Amino acid sequence: MEKQQTQEKLPGLDAGAEAQPTAPQGSGRPRVARICLPVPLYRAFDYSVPGAESLPEAELEAAPVVGGRVAVRFAHRPMIGICTALDPADAFADPSPIEHAIDTVPLLDAHHLALAAWLADYYHYPLGEVLAAMIPAEARKGSAAEIALETAWRIRPDQAAMVQRAIREEGAASLGLGRAKAQFALLQTLNENGPLSRAAIAELGYSAAVLKALAATEWVETLSWRPKPVPPPPEPALLLTSEQATAVAAIQSGLGQFGAFLLDGVTGSGKTEVYLRALHSALADGGQALILVPEIGLTPQTVRRVQARFTDVVALHSAMNDAERWQAWLKCAQGDARILIGTRSACFASFSDLRMIIVDEEHDPSFKQQDGLRYSARDFAVVRARQEGIPVVLGSATPSLESLHNAALGRYTTLTLRERPGAAELPTLRLLDIRGHTLEEGISPQLFHVMRRHLADGGQVLTFINRRGFAPTLMCPQCGWIADCRDCDARMTLHARPEHLRCHHCGARRPPARHCEGCGHDELVPVGQGTQRAEQGLAEFFPDTPVLRIDRDVTRSQRQLAAQLDAVLEGGPMILVGTQMLAKGHHFPNVTLVAVLGADGGFFSADFRAPERMAQTIMQVAGRAGRAERAGEVWIQTYQPEHPLLQRLVKSGYGEFAQSELNARAAAEMPPTRPMALIRADATHPEEGMAFLQSLKPRLAGVEAYGPAPAPIQRISNRFRHQLMVLADDRRTLRRALLGVRDQSAPRNVRWSIDVDPYDAF
């Protein structure tokens, strides 16, 4: 797995002159290491490497390597950085010595360092901090890059002959296992396979008790070992649809070179099957692949399908602890894992032989990091694929306008899946005009009727509401006073069980107000619908039907979510209530009705992305219906049945909706037609952030800068937020303008950041 470092592949790694390694005379031991440290400064630092002249050979510590970690002192504090160059031509004349080198083999290869440089440059973030963000927490702490050995069981070599004789002719009784059939069977398995780990033994169906009993005999012993990757199993016999076959062939023919594919396939059209098939060819003779998914907890089915099809699959997600993440990372880096399936930050993982990247649900907002290094994992995946010369597949039923734009420009190859395989049909979408109707718990009489029909037919009903909690607001019916957060310009959401008010922006909680703070009236009323309220109401309307709520409040634990999803998969008639979480890629074969309780909000927001987001959510939720033999129906309650965007979406589908949105964005000269960046500042006094942004404005050359203006929610946690919107005609101009401001220093109590390609622009 040793990787060769090639210096010339590392463009723009430091602020100084190009680093040219000059081999030191004699020993070959470097004398100066250029180190990038996790500090908010746009530069690297030179340190000396204690050399042969000062220490005898025997006491020499390992020298730093490019791409390896080095422990140093910085401003009197111990710190761990990444070495990006050795003996640079413009080395600092009098550097202080390093403490010691942690890695003797690079942790990050040349591709990685080049990609780090790209991230630092594109997102205007210090390289040292980019590098720190790219490696797992455990690596930042300096833990050794060693894969933990597993305990395995094997037949004791000195007893092997005896055991084999028993297996061949003499039988279990000769080993004293005459009445222990399972133990004897396990012994036979060990004889055929060689050492097996606890996990492998369990996977083969042996209970822990059987292993324990056999381990206590004289026939087996334990050893520490590192399991070798095994070849993937053969492809399954499932016949691809012709659309799928065309897509798979296109991706396969692109192996070994860069190519970006947009897999635009309606919900349930078998995109996952396309990924799996393409992976088979990518993994041939030791290749590796990376699969990015929005949230592992929300896509356990995807993970399971990958795990069922391939061996040596590792996951990387937020529910794992630091040590587990580090081990998963090392297995990819050292070639012990074949497939990495993970959320956003998995895009930075190291591989020994990466051959393909897949981004599932590429439109999903969770691919964009909202703080620190504000990268888009989807966009980075494409850049990485180009850097490594491999194909990348972006899949979605509702592609982002960015990806559709790139496809239209010919940067991406579009692969289309229009049909669901087998008997499954796409559901029809219907708008339900609720003007003038009395709603009960947010549900119109007509929808109520439809729900009852589907449940009576044995189907499951999925109701979608955009808000968690009981009700979005607690209001005084006398004077209109609304319970709001003391620290934010936002109203508190009412939650039930236990009843409390919660701010969804800063997380503050307090007991619900008993009296109106405006007029003293003592009967405050919850206004609007949240998932808890709908759950409660539906349970009253349908006392004989189980109602299952799925939102972030109930599904904090992965296990709980998985159990709930299983209940849905196996269950008969039932009602699901949930937020966007329900929309993400689940396969619910028994859902026949999807009801969208309120679809209006998205079309009136000030955010230019709101209609796109709303349309994606509606189509994704709708896509949960009719995924198996039974046909599905989708009903959308709205007060705006004539709204042109809603009409277009329902009548013509997402593709035409997206095209008209793209046209509108082009006319308004907004992204993706023109690149955008947002410069945000926040401070304890409203004027401070504003004044700082104002001072940046004249430095932004060649671009349009709008603002500074207050953020849509101006105050969060008692900090006042402002933003400057920057639009440019092209990337180069945007980059140059931002370079002109990125190292400005703000007053002490002003925090500020640059967000390139912001997701939440308002």
Contacts of 478 (CB under 8 A, 6+ apart): 516, 519, 521
Residue 421, contacted partner among Zn ion, ligand ADP, none, CB below 5-8 A by kind = ligand ADP
Torsion of CA 191, 193, 195, 199, to 10 degrees: -120
Q: 391-450: which residues touch ligand ADP (CB under 6 A)?
A: 421-422
Per the listing, tokens 């990518």 go with 282
Q: C-beta of 384: minimal distance to ligand ADP in Å? A: 23
Contacts of 742 (CB under 8 A, 6+ apart): 42, 124, 754
Tokens of 371: 């703080």
Q: Which is nearer to ligand ADP, 413 or 640 (CB)?
A: 413
Q: By CB under 6 A, is residue 271 in contact with ligand ADP? A: yes
Residue 616, contacted partner among ligand ADP, Zn ion, none, CB below 5-8 A by kind = none
Residue 485, contacted partner among Zn ion, ligand ADP, none, CB below 5-8 A by kind = Zn ion
Q: By CB under 6 A, is residue 272 in contact with ligand ADP? A: yes
Contacts of 461 (CB under 8 A, 6+ apart): 451, 454, 455, 574, 575, 576, 591, 592, 593, 594, 595
Q: C-beta of 263: minimal distance to ligand ADP in Å? A: 9
Residue 326, contacted partner among ligand ADP, Zn ion, none, CB below 5-8 A by kind = none
504: left (phi over 0), alpha (psi -120 to 50) or beta: alpha
Q: Which is nearer to ligand ADP, 495 or 627 (CB)?
A: 627
Q: For 470-483, give one letter per residue: b (16+ CB within 10 A) or e.
A: bbbbbbbeeeebbb
Q: Which is nearer to ligand ADP, 299 or 531 (CB)?
A: 299
Contact characters 139-168, ligand ADP, x per CB under 6 A: ------------------------------
Q: Which is nearer to ligand ADP, 425 or 433 (CB)?
A: 425
Q: By CB under 6 A, is residue 620 in contact with ligand ADP? A: no
User: Prior bond to 498 cis, omega within 30?
Assistant: yes
Q: C-beta of 605: minimal distance to Zn ion in Å? A: 20
Closest to 126 (Cα-Cα) out of 428, 373, 416, 476: 373
- Tally of CA atoms within 13 A in the half-sphere of 117 that contains its CB: 20
Question: What is the size of the binding site for ligand ADP (CB under 6 A)?
Answer: 16
Residues 458 and 199: their CA atoms lie apart, in Å, by 39
Residues 468 and 488: their CA atoms lie apart, in Å, by 19
Binding site for Zn ion (CB under 5 A): 476, 478-479, 481, 485, 487-488, 503, 505-506, 508, 516, 518-519, 521
Q: By CB under 6 A, is residue 265 in contact with ligand ADP? A: yes
Q: Which of 14, 129, 273, 688 binds ligand ADP (CB under 6 A)?
A: 273
Q: C-beta of 484: minimal distance to Zn ion in Å? A: 8
Contact characters 240-259, ligand ADP, x per CB under 6 A: xx--x---------------
Residues 580 and 564: their CA atoms lie apart, in Å, by 16
Residue 518, contacted partner among Zn ion, ligand ADP, none, CB below 5-8 A by kind = Zn ion
Q: Which is nearer to Zn ion, 534 or 716 (CB)?
A: 716
Residue 213, contacted partner among ligand ADP, Zn ion, none, CB below 5-8 A by kind = none
Q: Which of 106, 268, 442, 459 binds ligand ADP (CB under 6 A)?
A: 268
Q: 201-220: which residues touch ligand ADP (CB under 6 A)?
A: none
Write down how long the chain is: 762
Q: Which is nearer to ligand ADP, 204 or 238 (CB)?
A: 238
Residue 399, contacted partner among ligand ADP, Zn ion, none, CB below 5-8 A by kind = none
Q: C-beta of 520: minimal distance to Zn ion in Å? A: 7
Q: Which is nearer to Zn ion, 504 or 751 (CB)?
A: 504
**Intra-chain end-to-end CA distance of the chain, in Å:** 47
Q: For 191-213, give one letter per residue: b (16+ CB within 10 A) or e.
A: beeebbeeebbeeeebeeebbee
Tokens of 33: 């290491």
Q: Which of 270, 287, 342, 675 binds ligand ADP (CB under 6 A)?
A: 270
Write phi, then psi, for 379 (nearest 5 degrees): -65, -40
Q: C-beta of 491: minimal distance to Zn ion in Å? A: 9
Q: Which of 84, 183, 269, 532 binds ligand ADP (CB under 6 A)?
A: 269
Contact characters 577-616, ligand ADP, x per CB under 6 A: ----------x-----------------------------
Q: C-beta of 580: minimal distance to Zn ion in Å? A: 21
Q: What's CA 742's distance to the chain center, in Å?
A: 27
Per the listing, tokens 């008997």 go with 423
Measured between alpha carbons, how far is residue 103 from residues 354, 491, 547, 604 in Å?
Answer: 22, 51, 54, 54
DSSP E strand boundaries for 517-574: 525-527, 547-550
Q: C-beta of 328: minimal distance to Zn ion in Å? A: 36
Q: C-beta of 523: minimal distance to Zn ion in Å? A: 10
Q: By CB under 6 A, is residue 327 in contact with ligand ADP? A: no
Contacts of 368 (CB under 8 A, 6+ apart): 374, 375, 376, 377, 378, 757, 759
Residues 323 and 138: their CA atoms lie apart, in Å, by 6
Interacting residues toward ligand ADP by CB under 6 A: 238-241, 244, 265, 267-273, 421-422, 587
